[in-house]
Amino acid sequence: MKTRAYDARLSIGRLLATVISIFSALRNLFVSPRSKRNALQIHTHRLTTMAEWKAVTEAGS
């Protein structure tokens, strides 16, 4: 028989998994792949990503 505490732990676990999944997806947008590690490529990647992010968020408004 499930208890309320057990149900609460499951709920928290699901919430944590969702938050981690969303965080990982967003992080992947802004952190360049390992193959691109020199400063110029990282800078270019961030500028491109921020421009894309801005375009998407403005289009949704």
Look up the domain containing 33 and give its range: 4-60
How much is the pLDDT for 4? 78
Into how many domains does the chain fold? 1
Q: How far apart are the first and last CA of the chain?
A: 47
Spell out the per-residue pLDDT of the chain, length 61, in tens. 567 777 777 788 888 888 898 888 888 777 766 665 788 887 888 898 889 888 888 876 6
Tell me, yes or no, if the pTM score tops 0.85: no
- C-alpha 39/C-alpha 36 separation (Å) is 9
How much is the pLDDT for 26? 83
How much is the pLDDT for 7? 76
Q: Return phi, psi of residue 17, to 5°.
A: -60, -40
